[in-house]
Structure 1
Amino acid sequence: MSREFLLPDLGEGLTEAEIVAWLVAPGDTIVIDQAVVEVESAKSIVELPSPYGGVVASLFGEPGQVIHAGQVLLTVVDSTADVAASAAPTGSAGSADAAVSAPDTASIAASATAEGSGAVLVGYGTTESTRPARKVAAGRFGGTGAASMPRVITADAPARPAATPTVAATRPAEPVASVSTVAVSTNTADPTHRSPVVSPIVRRLARENGFDASTLQGSGRDSLVLRSDVEEYLRALTAPGAPDTAVVTPAATPAVVGAAAIGAAGVGAAAVGVSPADESADIRIPISGLRKVVAQRLATSRREIPEATIWLDVDATALFAARDQLRAATGERFSVTALIARFVVAGLRQYPVLNSSVDTASQEILQHGAVNLGIAAQTSRGLMVPVIHGAHAMSTRQLRDSIAALVAQSPEGTFAPSALTGGTFTLNNFGSLGVDGSAAIINHPEAAILGIGRMIERPWVVNHALAVRTVVELSMVFDHRVCDGGTAAGFLTYIARCIENPVSLVADL
């Protein structure tokens, strides 16, 4: 019995995802709910659990490949004997014979059955098939030719004990209309096989620079590829006088070639298949995944929203003093961003029309009751705006903790899809990037965004005399369909008054 695990509906209108890494390999015994693949959608990176238990027969797709909802991810069978049967040649297909040996097939099959092999999780696209797995794979993509036949690949799986055979796939030089030959190896340090890569950060760093981390020879335990290995490889690529390929050369696989063709700029330029000395070479970077979604949203914002921008310089000296007093009184640290977020929530209660969106279909302004505060964050995946839902009902301490949790996730951008939707107002602290101000683009479909510049000491007039004060520039961008300049200016001056005299907020609590 062969079971197919299909890419499930990702929700939020998402119909495709990119394979980041396989967490299992053909021949592995898995249980229900075990994570088998890491995929990246336009919203987030997630690990998908298998709705079946059993033995992995085939993997469909390679890291970096985009797959669509309803497409086969992998097939699961009841025992390793079925793996060999599914890889056997059929009729005129002309594939090589596949042989899989296991130390104890019966015990593996029994283990799979004991784990509840065959149960289905609600919400996942799965199908039951009584046909051999090979026939299912050949017909799933609408044909039997080479173009429609996905390959069986080896995953970036961690090293397994020698007692358990590792099933690896060897690719033919040219694509054929058959499953690749399956071989068995118990030597996890064999350089002909992929090195294990456990860290998603390491995989992502390599992928962004145009190659597959698993093709490097890892320096960690059991040849585990570490971040230092990737960085060393990149330094070798960009070193003056370096050859076209570094001392440690990744295997030339289709996945690596495809990733290299779309490598990022900067240090990744050397991995695009051109000599590092050829600085005049053009690089094509596809607008896909998160970058594509952000581009569409920003373009929609610029196209639909008649925005206006206002600025205001504010003396933030008292804000820092209040932060220090709060720490002395409670023994807890409060960031300046958390305190300004508290002011923003209070300001939106004073000017609720700014907590709105425009329904263009009905030509109505939808004023939201809840304040779902978005925090613009620069991540390794690009600009993202995770949302603090229900910020209006939070205390300053709860806001601080929520912002701290988002900041901790920002480097990797591993936000849950639910954390990236539903925002009603955005706070953008671009001062962390070292700039004073910016005419930001409104996060469509919201109606406004507040920017915070860097906070630096400047000469300031206090009581008709010059003094050195900590000054910050606030910039407010708003949808002129939702409100006029008077409302936006009132909100901005309210925030400025709270920053200049934080105790004034007590009157509104």
Structure 2
Amino acid sequence: MSREVFRLPDLGEGLTEAEVVEWRVAAGDTVAVDQVVVEVETAKAAVEVPIPFAGTVVELCAPAGSVVAVGAPLIAVDGGGSGNVLIGYGTSGAHAGTTRRRRAAKPQETTEAAVRVISPVVRRLARTHGIDLATLTPSGSGGIIVRRDVEAAISAVPQLESAGLRIPLRGVRRAMAEKLSRSRAEIPEATTWVDADATALLAMRAAVNRTAADPISLMAFLARICVAALRRFPELHSFVDTERAEIVQFSHVHLGFAAQTPRGLVVPVVRDAHERTLAELAAALREHTEAARAGTLEPRHLTGGTFTLNNYGVFGVDGGAPIINHPEAALLGVGRIVPRPWVVDGELAVRSVTQLSFTFDHRVCDGGTAGGFLRFVADCVEDPYRMMLF
């Protein structure tokens, strides 16, 4: 029998650490090659990690809730010695010698792995409120601790008048918070907006979907308009290299779009959007959104964006001034589409109207160029056949 220690593998994209969300095995369990043993969350996404060898679990080296550096021990197995390479993660030992101080484990984290809890949501709820699962009396069938057990314990804890709920900034939320803070600190942004009649755009979408194999979303049409606008105004498709005092224009469109998920706001990226058809854009947007909400989006689809589209209209709001996704130079926001009075050929009519906002880096262009970009987008919304010319 030989003892094998499986270390946190290199998860790519320059990631250096991950938080242990949930163990799928316990000490004494038998594991097989490529069996998923733990779920971790990086600054990019949640990842299920398989083990590359088989054997009996001797030790879980990192309790749930702890932050583990790449190359640090995750799990020890007796009876290993042969196995597979982790496809998609890499097994480089470059980080194995790195030492990194982990935060001290809370009392409940040391006993949590042996407590019978079915739902990872229940574990996270307990960790958030500092509840030791080992002290609870289970009320679920078969001696399982359920959500109501944790909620009852939370309500029984005396609350200081000045105290409130503390939610740690970790994983995706922490990465987004850092990025938005950097954007606001470094980019002198400005925002302009305009109302647009989207009646013709909605009519085109309805006509296309009558014959399309899969439904084409409104976001796909807006993404296609963004691609056309960036071709017309390439100076806005860039970033500022502050070290070399240069504005660098991109030759390709990697289109990011804001997506709300249970883990917070993320910006999935559709790579090479300029080479995709309308149907291909719709498929990519749909697949990326589903993966983002499930927490399974690959890190390469969360980085490298060159322009961002934010459809905050899905939240029922008309307008906003969103923060630029650093280091990009601009962001298009789209409000809800609602019936409003509109003048058409000198006559008052009810039309489907939306508000478009455009936030831009003032180092890259002046208000004239930004206004031209936004006016072009609005013209495409009002006359969607115009986008086909670019």
Work out whether the TM-score is over 0.5: yes
Pick which of 210-219 and 456-465 moved more. Answer: 210-219
Cα separation, 2, equivalents of 1:224 and 1:456: 48
Change (3 A) 1:324 1:208: farther
Cα separation, 2, equivalents of 1:124 and 1:331: 42
Of 225, 235, 240, 1:343 maps to: 225
Would you say the 8 A contact 2:176–2:265 is kept in 1? yes
Of 174, 187, 195, 1:313 maps to: 195
Cα separation, 1, equivalents of 2:30 and 2:246: 55
Deviations 1:26-79 (A, max 9, x none): 12222222211111111111011212222111111221111222221111111x
3-state SS of the aligned residue for 2:387?
helix
3-state SS of the aligned residue for 1:297?
helix
The aligned amino acid for 1:454 is: R
- Cα deviation, residue 151, structure 1: 11
Residues 223-372 of structure 1: pairs in structure 2 closer than 5 A? 229-230=146-147, 232=148, 237=151, 246=152, 270=154, 273-275=157-159, 280-330=162-212, 332-372=214-254
Are 1:20 and 2:21 matched, yes or no?
A: yes
3-state SS of the aligned residue for 2:331?
strand
User: Which residue of 2 is the match for residue 64 of structure 1?
Assistant: 65
Change (3 A) 1:216 1:335: farther
Change (3 A) 1:75 1:323: same
Would you say the 8 A contact 1:42–1:289 is kept in 2? yes
Change (3 A) 1:126 1:427: same
Would you say the 8 A contact 1:61–1:151 is kept in 2? no
Of 72, 76, 85, 1:121 maps to: 85
The aligned amino acid for 2:116 is: R
Change (3 A) 1:329 1:34: closer
CA RMSD of aligned residues (A): 3.1
Which has the higher Rg, Structure 1 or Structure 2?
Answer: 1
The aligned amino acid for 2:351 is: R
Normalised TM-score (structure 1): 0.67
Deviations 1:349-373 (A, max 9, x none): 1112222111111112221111000
Cα separation, 1, equivalents of 2:227 and 2:143: 51
Change (3 A) 1:331 1:196: closer
Pick which of 484-493 and 318-327 moved more. Answer: 484-493
3-state SS of the aligned residue for 2:210?
helix
Would you say the 8 A contact 1:428–1:450 is kept in 2? yes
Cα separation, 2, equivalents of 1:353 and 1:298: 22
Change (3 A) 1:397 1:460: same
Would you say the 8 A contact 1:35–1:48 is kept in 2? yes
Cα separation, 1, equivalents of 2:137 and 2:293: 24
The aligned amino acid for 1:25 is: A
Of 350, 374, 378, 1:496 maps to: 378
User: Which residue of 2 is the match for residue 42 of structure 1?
Assistant: 43
Change (3 A) 1:397 1:213: farther
Change (3 A) 1:377 1:219: same
Change (3 A) 1:281 1:208: closer
Change (3 A) 1:72 1:431: same
- Cα deviation, residue 218, structure 1: 7.5
The aligned amino acid for 1:496 is: A
Pick which of 385-394 and 26-35 moved more. Answer: 26-35
Normalised TM-score (structure 2): 0.86
RCO higher in 1 or 2 (8 Å CA, sep ≥ 6)?
2
- Cα deviation, residue 506, structure 1: 2.9
Cα separation, 2, equivalents of 1:422 and 1:409: 17
Residues 389-468 of structure 1: pairs in structure 2 closer than 5 A? 389-468=271-350
Cα separation, 2, equivalents of 1:448 and 1:331: 33
Structure 2: runs of 5+ lacking an equivalent: none
Change (3 A) 1:4 1:151: farther
Would you say the 8 A contact 1:375–1:387 is kept in 2? yes
Change (3 A) 1:342 1:211: farther
Would you say the 8 A contact 1:313–1:473 is kept in 2? yes
Deviations 1:383-418 (A, max 9, x none): 110100111110000100111112223434432111
3-state SS of the aligned residue for 1:467?
strand
The aligned amino acid for 1:284 is: R
User: Which residue of 1 is the match for residue 116 of structure 2?
Assistant: 194
Deviations 1:320-364 (A, max 9, x none): 111111122436422211111111111111112222111111112
User: Which residue of 2 is the match for residue 31 of structure 1?
Assistant: 32
Cα separation, 2, equivalents of 1:196 and 1:429: 36
The aligned amino acid for 2:117 is: S
Cα separation, 2, equivalents of 1:271 and 1:413: 30
Cα separation, 2, equivalents of 1:41 and 1:31: 25
Would you say the 8 A contact 2:69–2:100 is kept in 1? no
3-state SS of the aligned residue for 2:293?
coil
User: Which residue of 1 is the match for residue 6 of structure 2?
Assistant: 5
Cα separation, 2, equivalents of 1:300 and 1:413: 24
Cα separation, 2, equivalents of 1:13 and 1:126: 14
3-state SS of the aligned residue for 1:296?
helix
Cα separation, 1, equivalents of 2:197 and 2:190: 24
Residues 70-89 of structure 1: pairs in structure 2 closer than 5 A? 70-78=71-79
3-state SS of the aligned residue for 1:330?
coil
Cα separation, 1, equivalents of 2:204 and 2:128: 42
The count of residues paired between Structure 1 and Structure 2 equals: 378
Cα separation, 2, equivalents of 1:437 and 1:423: 23
Change (3 A) 1:299 1:469: same
Change (3 A) 1:420 1:73: same
Cα separation, 1, equivalents of 2:368 and 2:358: 12
The aligned amino acid for 1:49 is: P
- Cα deviation, residue 452, structure 1: 0.5
Cα separation, 1, equivalents of 2:280 and 2:131: 41
Deviations 1:162-203 (A, max 9, x none): xxxxxx5xxxxxxxxxxxxxxxxxxxxxxxx41334xx5665
Cα separation, 1, equivalents of 2:100 and 2:204: 63
Cα separation, 2, equivalents of 1:141 and 1:364: 36
